[in-house]
Amino acid sequence: MTTRVLIVEDDIDIRGMLARGLEAEGFDVGVAGRVEDALSAARDAAPEAVVLDITLPDGSGHDVCRSLREGGYPGAILFLSARDEVRDRAEGLALGADDYIVKPFVFDELLARLQVHLLRRREADTPRTVFTAGRLTLDLNIRQVSFGEASARLTPREAELLALLMQEVNRPISRGEIFDRLWASQGGLSLNVVDVYVGYLRSKLSDFVRLGGPVITTVRGKGFMLDLRGQDFKH
């Protein structure tokens, strides 16, 4: 799918140059020269990125940026402005912009920055599939958990439960929270299903425990916890 970019710039020459350049790079380009038009275009066309001038005839690019972010706009926003004071850059970034490029600019640099921010946004939107806690690694794609040279295959629900515990290392998670996140959408089940699957998971990880791996502990009154205390870990 072609990436859509919205250019908000009241200077016709700059707007045209940017549009032609980005279209030549394969982007689907929309343009606007006023605050009202920019907000309308962002709402209707849902661009993945907005290249935004600050000085507009009916207001400020700051107003556009603020409105977009307050409305939950998830795409990249790059300010493109002749204002080069540090306070101008700081204000733009504080409003939620990803970058601030000062005019005059080199198109290739703007293109490179735009591509970087698009990539970062897309990576941030991609669900995690690999989780690590100390020497324990879980790959959700193949539902395999490894500790050193040892490994075990998990069922889909066992893998989801372990991923949840690995994201909250050394912090107990209540039965209710686990149930709500993994089983609430399935009718006819009780909280006991959490205990059953914790038991399954403990059995699958038993060889790892004998090798010094993490333990799923029961914390009285608080729930279950993947215990890596005293070990180096990251998650």
Name residue 215's amino acid.
V
CA distance 218 to 202: 11
CA distance 215 to 226: 6
Phi, psi of 117 (to 5 degrees): -70, -35
Residue 232's pLDDT is what?
43
For the domain made up of 130-227, give the CATH fold: Arc Repressor Mutant, subunit A (1.10.10)
**Percent of the chain at pLDDT exceeding 70:** 94
CB 6 within 8 A of CB 42: yes
Residue 128's pLDDT is what?
73
More confident residue, 199 or 232: 199
CB 224 within 8 A of CB 172: yes
Class of domain 4-123: alpha beta
Rounded to an integer, the average pLDDT of 42-66 is 94
Rounded to an integer, the average pLDDT of 143-149 is 91
Q: Say what the pTM is.
A: 0.57
Instruction: Report residue 60 as tokens.
Output: 């400020």
Every domain of the chain and the residues it spans:
4-123, 130-227
Place of tokens 């989780």: 131
Instruction: Give yes or no for residue 222 having a pLDDT over 60.
Output: yes
Instruction: Give yes or no for residue 100 having a pLDDT over 60.
Output: yes
CB 49 within 8 A of CB 114: yes
Instruction: Give yes or no for residue 202 having a pLDDT over 90.
Output: yes
Give residue 40's pLDDT band: very low, low, confident or very high (50, 70, 90): very high
CA distance 85 to 64: 20
